[in-house]
Chains A and B, each alone.
Chain A
Amino acid sequence: MESSWSSLGGSLGSADPQLQRFMEAEVQKQRVQLLIHHMTELCWEKCMDKPGPKLDSRAELCLVNCVERFIDTSQFILNRLEHTHKAKPFFSQNLSD
């Protein structure tokens, strides 16, 4: 999905700059959609015990918190990797070898 979309955008974009911008925007939208699908799956597993006749407020709050914490987790992981990388020049040096 990802690579074919990118290459498609590239090949079509050579014909028309308007089309190129359009394809780039659509690819970005698709990334967001896939992330939402992924988070829905994860948060469904965490928050939905037995599906009832309505989405109760406890489950809804859990879903919202789940999304927020997923994003916080992603940011934490990226931030920590960045700092670890800077704090350990030896590790960094090894990595670049």
Chain B
Amino acid sequence: MDSGFGSDFGGTGGGKLDPGAIMEQVKVQIAVANAQELLQRMTDKCFRKCIGKPGGSLDNSEQKCIAMCMDRYMDAWNTVSRAYNSRLQRERANM
């Protein structure tokens, strides 16, 4: 979200805001932001897990490790997300 909203936010140049267009753009921006968050964190985690002393290039074992790490991080994100939502539902049911 560093760049914020572009100058074309809201669609038409007439100055009148179109709520529908704004809502759609906001949803897209948020989805992109979330994907970037995930990618940034996954890159950091997998670099720490898989790269020891950095060499001249990524060797085969490092690449294999990174590939597995990426898949497992996605699994972890999905598991955490499900567990959190499940907890929220239980908390609401007990209110």
- Min CB distance A53 to B, Å, is 6
Majority secondary structure of chain A interface residues (helix, strand, loop or mixed) = helix
Residues of A within 8 A of B84 (CB): 32, 35-36, 39, 67, 71
Beta-carbon nearest neighbor of A35 in chain B: B84
User: Which residues from chain B contact A37 at a C-beta distance below 8 Å?
Assistant: 37-38, 41, 77
Convert A1-17 into 0s and 1s, putting 1 for each residue whose CB lies closer than 8 angstroms to a CB of B. Answer: 10010001000100110
- Counting CB contacts under 8 A, is B59 at the interface? no
CB of B47 closer than 8 Å to a CB of A = no
Cβ-defined contact, B34 with A33, below 8 A: yes
Specify which chain B residues have a CB less than 8 angstroms from the CB of A33 in the assembled complex: 34, 37
Q: Among A22, A41, A52, A66, which residue has its beta carbon within 8 angstroms of that of B68?
A: A52
